[in-house]
């Protein structure tokens, strides 16, 4: 926790957010290779046979993550017409599902081997993100004399009662869920990249059946050109 407001940098709209996510990775990749001899030199080095001057083969991979805000689609999981009519006449207050949602676009780029993978994470309620973005003061805010409790500064109103009554701060489990969401999305994209480099399920050389060290020993240069190692 910090004594300052956090900001995820939300972008409104799935198309806009995914475009920005890709542009971020491509922009950094261009800057990186421009300062390291260019992309062609990197490709040449990737196809060189292993030697004393090139004992370890490395890859330059660029990962971009962008938080995206979207509107919930009420057409999804819609009930039947009779169920909707029954809700309208029910005395039970209908739950408000109009809250915006937040998801994360993940994009991985390997310009040397011309490999790219992307995904969009599970969505979470936008109010969860608002809770996390709120400041979590570690010391009293003496500058604001209007505060009854100086430690309350920055705590969202909809969870303040829970915290003041001694309950678990919802931001603790929200942070855990968002962390797991990001880990799953990034992990899947990373595994797809590794599988592509090894030729698993791609119909490439070895088709994922040979060990990487066997491929290197056989013909590292040709395998590298195929984008497998």
Residue 33 is assigned to a structural domain of this protein: yes
Residue 221 is assigned to a structural domain of this protein: no
Greatest CA separation found in the chain? 79
What is the total count of domains within the chain? Answer: 1
**pLDDT attached to residue 140:** 45
Residue 216 is assigned to a structural domain of this protein: no
Range(s) of the domain holding residue 124: 1-44+58-73+97-139+149-211
Residue 78 is assigned to a structural domain of this protein: no
Residue 87 is assigned to a structural domain of this protein: no
Residue 219 is assigned to a structural domain of this protein: no
**pLDDT attached to residue 77:** 80
Residue 226 is assigned to a structural domain of this protein: no
Q: What is the pLDDT along the chain (229 residues), one digit of tens a residue?
A: 445 566 788 999 999 999 999 999 999 999 999 998 888 888 887 777 777 776 777 889 999 999 999 998 888 887 787 776 777 676 666 565 567 899 999 999 999 999 999 999 999 999 888 888 766 554 444 444 444 554 455 677 777 877 787 877 888 888 899 999 999 999 999 999 999 988 887 555 555 455 555 545 554 454 444 454 4
Residue 39 is assigned to a structural domain of this protein: yes
Say how many Å lie between the first and final Cα of the chain, rounded: 41
């Amino acid at each position: 926790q910090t004594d300052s407001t956090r900001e995820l940098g939300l972008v409104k709209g799935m198309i806009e957010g995914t475009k920005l996510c890709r542009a971020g990775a491509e922009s950094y990749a261009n800057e990186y290779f421009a300062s390291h001899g260019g992309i062609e030199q990197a490709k040449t080095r990737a196809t060189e046979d292993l030697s004393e001057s090139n004992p370890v083969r490395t890859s330059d991979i660029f990962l971009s993550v962008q938080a995206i805000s979207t509107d919930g689609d009420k057409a999804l999981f819609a009930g039947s017409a009779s169920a909707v009519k029954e809700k309208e006449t029910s005395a039970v207050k209908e739950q408000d599902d109009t809250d915006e949602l937040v998801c994360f676009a993940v994009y991985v780029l390997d310009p040397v081997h011309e490999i790219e993978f992307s995904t969009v994470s599970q969505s979470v309620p936008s109010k969860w993100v608002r809770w996390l973005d709120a400041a979590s003061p570690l010391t009293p805010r003496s500058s604001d004399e209007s505060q009854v409790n100086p430690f309350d500064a920055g705590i969202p109103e909809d969870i303040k009662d829970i915290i003041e009554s001694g309950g678990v701060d919802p931001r603790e489990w929200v942070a855990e869920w968002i962390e797991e969401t990001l880990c799953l999305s990034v992990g899947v994209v990373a595994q797809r990249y590794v599988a592509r480099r090894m030729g698993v399920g791609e119909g490439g050389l070895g088709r994922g059946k040979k060990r990487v060290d066997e491929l290197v020993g056989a013909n590292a240069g040709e395998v590298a050109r195929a984008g497998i190692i």
